């Protein structure tokens, strides 16, 4: 039988979290120094599946180029993707751009104030909308991003993988029940900070402000909660990428608007069994000479792994290009909107 504290003598969960955040939480992040819903939205989207240290320079560059929602809405998507290049999960950038256009078209360029309207915008959803209204307007709304799921699963002893609908419903109920009626901004930040800095995969339970009644700690189940994603083998894809080179420039091809790396510049692709010189002649109607070998590159995504097999091809002439193609120098390419693995390949050339 596990000992449990007399909960009547334990301060409220939210009160402990707010007091801890005031003294030990994160306070100096650039998006914490504003009530601008646009900038808060931008930071929340960038922070989805991406660490703070990675986001910081991207955020600073982004707001310098697109200081408000109208600036983002009026910018060409190519320029937006160029600013996002290297941050990954590029659908986020497409959604930001689409949502900015909707805010300008349907809300006069003024960011909405209610959770339901914000949650209906592309790429936002319930938790991100709640974070925006909490930080921008002080509205009482529950968040449930990945770190918060871990905190609540452990503290409330909620079994099961958080990605399943049944477990997620329990976590949402716990998140709603824990909401305070005041200090909502500090409480929301505290939930994020606790999950990011204390209740991590290897938690620092001794300094946790809510450890006294944490079910996972009391029952010795810290390593079990939250339950991991059920094991599965990731599919592995392989593709040949054709690196056409001419007079110090490289040919790039824009990816389709939907799918992997949507809208970004990459190399033309071919099936692994196809020879580059034959593809060059059949698809582009040019003669090409094979160049030096480049080592394959494997990149991991959430749902699969991808191995790129580059083949360098030198050409002396090239027919008229479509709008989907561009010849760029190595330096210009590295400054452009390229997926991270393609940038790695360019640097290796």
Residue positions annotated with a catalytic role: 44
| Residues whose CB is less than 8 angstroms from the CB of residue 22 and which lie 6 or more positions away in sequence, other chains included | 186
Angle at 239 between CA 238 and CA 241, to 5 degrees: 145
Dist. CA 194–CA 329, nearest whole Å: 45
Dist. CA 18–CA 168, nearest whole Å: 24
Segments in the chain forming alpha helices (H) = 13-24, 37-46, 52-65, 69-74, 77-84, 91-107, 115-119, 125-137, 146-156, 165-178, 184-197, 215-218, 276-283, 330-334, 340-348
Dig out the tokens for 5 from the structure. 């504290």
Would you tell me how many other CB atoms lie within 10 Å of the CB of residue 3? Answer: 5
Burial of 258 (0-12, 13-18, 19+ CB in 10 A): exposed
Sequential DSSP letters for 36-81: -HHHHHHHHHHTTTS-HHHHHHHHHHHHHH--SHHHHHHS-HHHHH
| Residues whose CB is less than 8 angstroms from the CB of residue 15 and which lie 6 or more positions away in sequence, other chains included | 180
Report in angstroms the alpha-carbon separations of 78 from 64, 71, 90, 275, 326: 17, 14, 12, 31, 13
Report in angstroms the alpha-carbon separations of 149 from 124, 188, 199: 17, 13, 10
Would you tell me how many other CB atoms lie within 10 Å of the CB of residue 60? Answer: 11
Number of H helices, E strands in the chain: 15, 8
Angle at 200 between CA 194 and CA 201, to 5 degrees: 160
Contact 312, 242 (CB under 8 A): no
């Amino acid at each position: 039988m596990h000992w449990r504290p007399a909960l009547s003598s334990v301060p409220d969960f939210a009160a402990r979290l707010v007091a801890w955040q005031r003294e030990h939480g994160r306070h100096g992040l650039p998006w914490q120094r504003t009530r601008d819903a646009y900038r808060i939205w931008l930071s929340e989207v960038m922070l989805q599946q991406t660490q703070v240290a990675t986001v910081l320079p991207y955020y600073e560059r982004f707001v310098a180029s697109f200081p408000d929602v109208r600036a983002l809405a009026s910018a060409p998507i190519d320029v937006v993707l160029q600013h996002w290049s290297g941050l990954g999960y590029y659908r986020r950038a497409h959604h930001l751009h689409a949502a900015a256009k909707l805010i300008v078209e349907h809300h006069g360029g003024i960011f909405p104030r209610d959770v339901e309207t914000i949650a209906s915008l592309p790429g936002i959803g319930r938790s991100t909308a709640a974070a925006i209204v909490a930080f921008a307007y002080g509205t009482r709304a529950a968040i449930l991003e990945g770190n918060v799921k871990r905190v609540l699963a452990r503290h409330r002893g909620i079994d099961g993988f958080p990605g399943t609908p049944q477990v997620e419903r329990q976590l949402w109920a716990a998140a709603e029940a824990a909401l305070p009626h005041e200090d909502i901004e500090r409480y929301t930040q505290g939930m994020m900070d606790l999950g990011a800095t204390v209740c991590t995969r290897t938690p620092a339970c001794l300094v946790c402000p809510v450890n006294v009644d944490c079910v996972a700690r009391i029952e010795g189940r810290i390593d079990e909660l939250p339950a991991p994603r059920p094991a599965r083998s990731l599919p592995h894809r392989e593709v040949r990428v054709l690196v056409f080179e001419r007079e110090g420039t490289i040919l790039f091809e824009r990816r389709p608007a939907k799918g992997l790396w949507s809208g970004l510049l990459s190399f033309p692709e071919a099936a692994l069994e196809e020879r580059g010189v034959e593809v060059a002649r059949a698809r582009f109607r040019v003669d090409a000479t094979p160049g030096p070998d480049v080592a394959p590159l494997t990149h991991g995504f959430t749902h699969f792994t991808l191995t790129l097999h580059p083949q360098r091809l030198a050409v002396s002439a090239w027919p008229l290009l479509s709008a989907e193609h561009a010849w760029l120098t190595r330096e210009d390419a590295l400054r452009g909107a390229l997926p991270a693995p393609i940038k790695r390949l360019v640097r290796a050339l």
